């Protein structure tokens, strides 16, 4: 069901409530931020079984616990360079031949796969064939776990709602994300995130590259627009965290995107490289606030956008910029830094033939999304290792972060999910709450009654 489209989506609507007010917030993200590898306690009895257990379950601040990082470190230490290179790559494929793609995942030891619109099997009446879709994700998941890997693979999708939705009916159709800003309710955003993710979980997905936490600047923003939850940084922060926590509660990994903020540049990075001319002080006062909120809430992934920031590194997209990743880590992020799709124009024009893959890793990325050709990206990483331009410890660190995240998700167990379309009532509720009157009285029906 397609929810009502808000008459005006709020760029400066009501204050965002404290996301912690949502009952959907999972306990994993409720702990305070702690160092990625905190020192062992020096208190008496630290060597006892009870103390060891406490150390093992110490939260890392972005979802996993110390035991997950320890297990990942052991697993990555036993990997070959080729296996480590595979664990930081999340490719796409074209068309419906998922079996051929699964063979590539197995051979290159890839982290998993993203599903795009042309990979979605359909029924004769033009809807998603949900049974076939579940079979596809199951086959790709099996490929990602081949070779004795005990942790699940990343099976992801771009499902934001509004114009960005790879899976349509019979799944619930969700309104544009700016509807959450217009509705002004953190608990509603969290409930929607949970409802959307629950339908995806039922089809075998465990990752959703959403929400867009960019702060839109309005009509001059050609890329994000209503994909943003608000033009107000505080509101975008609160609703982005609430929606993400809802997704986590349903078992899906969210990714806050597109660091350091795509909503205040006037060029679409799908075509060419945008330049963000703001100073670091200006970015920290606005565009970076939603990412800081995501980090403070303990969310597991942040996506780096293809946006050049002269204040950090002139002419270099943030997704391949060491100063950009250093800024993200300075903000306290210890989780998985994932690039935006590496087949986009902003990257391909400057870094052809997947040369961006080892550069992004060397700069600080942990997971490389959608290289134009995963075979050549994998080969480029191995070449960079061999010629010394990619330090082996940096690749190991990246692989360990990805594996840590997936061991954690595997330990938590997959959620059962809900039937396609089960979120229709919630979608309608969001759309209805998002209707905004700008000025003057509003009398009579907003839309004509539905016809039989």
* pTM of the predicted model as reported, rounded to 2 decimal places: 0.88
Dump pLDDT digits (tens) for 198-216.
Answer: 999 999 999 999 999 999 9
In the residue annotation, 214 being an active-site residue is answered as no
pLDDT at 263 (0 to 100): 93
pLDDT at 449 (0 to 100): 61
Rg over CA atoms, the chain: 21
Dump pLDDT digits (tens) for 273-308.
Answer: 999 999 999 999 999 999 999 999 999 999 999 999
Which DSSP string corresponds to 108-172? Answer: HT--EEEE-GGG--B-TTSSB-HHHHHHHHHHHHHHHTGGG--SPPEEEE-EEETTEES--TTSP
Dump pLDDT digits (tens) for 385-413.
Answer: 999 999 999 999 999 999 999 999 999 88
Dump pLDDT digits (tens) for 247-257.
Answer: 999 999 999 99
Q: Which range, 36-40, 48-52, 166-170, 433-437, has the best average confidence (pLDDT)?
A: 166-170
308-309 and 301-304 strand pairing: unpaired
> What mean pLDDT is reported for the chain?
89
Task: Output the six-digit token pair for 398.
Answer: 């990246």
Backbone CA torsion sign across 29, 66, 329, 321:
negative
**Burial of residue 307 (number of CB atoms within 10 Å: 0-12, 13-18, 19+):** buried
Tell me which of 340, 354, 366, 419 is the catalytic residue: 340
pLDDT at 53 (0 to 100): 85
Q: Residue 365 pLDDT > 90, yes or no? A: yes
In the CATH scheme, what is the code of domain 63-431? 3.20.20.300
Q: Helical H runs in 213-355?
A: 233-249, 280-285, 289-296, 322-330, 345-348
Q: Helical H runs in 119-274?
A: 130-144, 178-183, 186-202, 233-249
Q: Residue 24 pLDDT > 50, yes or no? A: no
Q: Residue 35 pLDDT > 50, yes or no? A: no
When pLDDT is averaged across residues 24-30 and rounded to a whole number, the result is 38
Q: Residue 36 pLDDT > 60, yes or no? A: no
300 within 8 A of 405, measured Cβ to Cβ = yes
% the chain with pLDDT above 70: 87
Task: Output the six-digit token pair for 139.
Answer: 């086959």
């Amino acid at each position: 069901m397609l929810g009502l489209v808000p008459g005006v989506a709020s760029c400066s609507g009501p204050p965002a409530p404290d996301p912690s007010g949502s009952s959907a917030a999972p306990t994993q993200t409720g702990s305070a931020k702690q160092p990625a590898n905190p020192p062992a306690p020096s208190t008496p009895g630290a060597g006892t079984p009870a103390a060891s257990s406490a150390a093992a379950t110490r939260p890392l601040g972005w979802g996993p616990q110390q035991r997950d990082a320890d297990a990942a470190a052991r697993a990555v230490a036993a990997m070959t360079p080729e296996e480590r290179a595979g664990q930081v790559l999340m490719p796409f494929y074209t068309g419906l031949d998922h079996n051929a793609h699964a063979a590539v995942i197995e051979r290159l030891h890839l982290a998993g796969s993203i599903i795009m619109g042309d990979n979605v099997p359909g029924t004769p009446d033009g809807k998603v064939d949900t049974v076939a879709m579940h079979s596809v994700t199951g086959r790709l998941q099996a490929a990602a776990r081949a070779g004795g890997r005990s942790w699940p693979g990343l099976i992801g999708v771009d499902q934001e709602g509004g114009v960005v939705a790879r899976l349509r009916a019979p799944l619930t159709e969700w309104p544009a994300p700016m509807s959450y800003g217009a509705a002004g309710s953190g608990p509603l955003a969290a409930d929607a995130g949970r409802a959307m993710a629950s339908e995806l979980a039922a089809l075998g997905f465990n990752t959703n590259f959403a929400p867009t936490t960019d702060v839109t600047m309005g009509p001059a923003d050609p890329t994000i627009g209503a994909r943003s939850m608000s033009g107000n940084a505080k509101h975008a922060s609160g609703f982005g965290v609430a929606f993400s926590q809802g997704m986590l509660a349903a078992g899906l990994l969210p990714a806050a995107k597109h660091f350091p903020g795509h909503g205040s540049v006037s060029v679409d990075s799908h075509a060419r490289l945008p330049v963000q001319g703001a100073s670091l002080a200006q970015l920290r006062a606005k565009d970076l606030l939603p990412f800081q909120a995501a980090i403070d809430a303990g969310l597991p992934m942040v996506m780096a956008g293809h946006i050049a920031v002269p204040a950090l590194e002139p002419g270099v997209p943030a997704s391949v910029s060491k100063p950009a990743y250093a800024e993200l880590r300075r903000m306290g992020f210890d989780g998985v830094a994932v690039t935006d799709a590496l087949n986009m124009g902003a990257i391909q024009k400057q870094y052809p033939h997947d040369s961006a893959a080892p550069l992004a890793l060397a700069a600080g990325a942990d997971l490389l999304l959608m290289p134009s050709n995963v075979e050549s990206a994998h080969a480029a990483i191995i070449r960079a290792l061999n010629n010394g331009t990619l330090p082996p410890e940096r690749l190991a660190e990246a692989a360990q972060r990805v594996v840590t995240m997936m061991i954690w998700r595997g330990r938590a167990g997959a959620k059962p999910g809900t039937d396609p379309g089960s979120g229709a009532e919630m979608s309608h509720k969001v759309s209805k709450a998002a209707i905004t009157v700008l000025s003057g009285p509003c009398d009579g029906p907003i839309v004509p009654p539905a016809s039989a």
